[in-house]
Structure 1
């Protein structure tokens, strides 16, 4: 039996967070099929969590949304693993960071780090969304933002409208992070058999103040602060 180390992580958003899942189940299944088999129970559960309304499909299927956990919005656990890869990839080229010392970081994250639950509930705050044009969708009751997207094409510049569900700053989420193997507290305590350590995890999560979650994260949306609590005793 192998050793596992568990942490509880709590995130609080600093800026508005945009939904990133296409609401049309057909499009979503096609997107999943590019990555994994969309017929698996896990993939079907993810598709079933979309808030798609057949009667309003012509309108809502053009919206990027959050998944649903009961009445709450949510994100899939793989979003957090993707964030860890993005954070480590960015910091890997920065000298003096713990991330720059990690070899094959994508493989380490894919095979050693696991997030529970599969769909993480988001608890929206009762805060105002500023600097964005939003309205309440009458069908879903969710706050929606419509914004222009400009693209340079072979026929010249084109402008399209993007429509997304949004959640205000102060939105909170909590999940469990399970890491296979021992996780030392400090980098100097690591070995080839214990490549991950708490200082590295803190470094990745701290990066969330600059590069967050959801759509438009490169523009500063979805940034967050964090709290991390170790649930498994430190290795002796």
Structure 2
């Protein structure tokens, strides 16, 4: 198993202030997708910042503002992603993307919530999901669900880099017989090959990888906690 020591060169800057994140979601029309008003988004962000304290509230408390996937599913959020002027997309063989729901974790029972301590998991690159999940649990972290990963890239596009992309294994698809589908969601950058099409080269891509496979260019995004 690869070395687990994080590489300091891959540390990302702090997320934007919560108020800035709120305006970004409004600009993209995410509030309309979620059936919320712009004022509701702003009010939630302001309250969350205030609860974090005066100093943290001034710069954003390092948390990610997320909309519950029941309100804003991955299929609606992915096209809002942008890289090199190209919109994000879901791979053609993942038409059931919205059926990938939180697995072995609970999201706050609220339309809006905060995701704290987001990390891309670069030190777990070239691990399989099966190897990464128990390691995250040991670190008292839980994997991001797919929509949280998309929200992160919407707010901080530099979170997605060539050879430093990530999986969101908090989302899984449960089959009718109760077993879990072997596909696990991930967000990376298209090479414009195959069914993606050359016009999608460098576009943000929502796809999947097998549960037991390793990929040198995929870490495992995770969080220290969530609150509504």
Fold shared, TM-score > 0.5 on shorter chain: no
Coarse TM-score class (shorter-chain normalised): 0.3 to 0.5
TM-score (norm 1): 0.31
> Quick check: which one's strand share is greater?
1
Give the structure with higher Rg (CA). Answer: 1
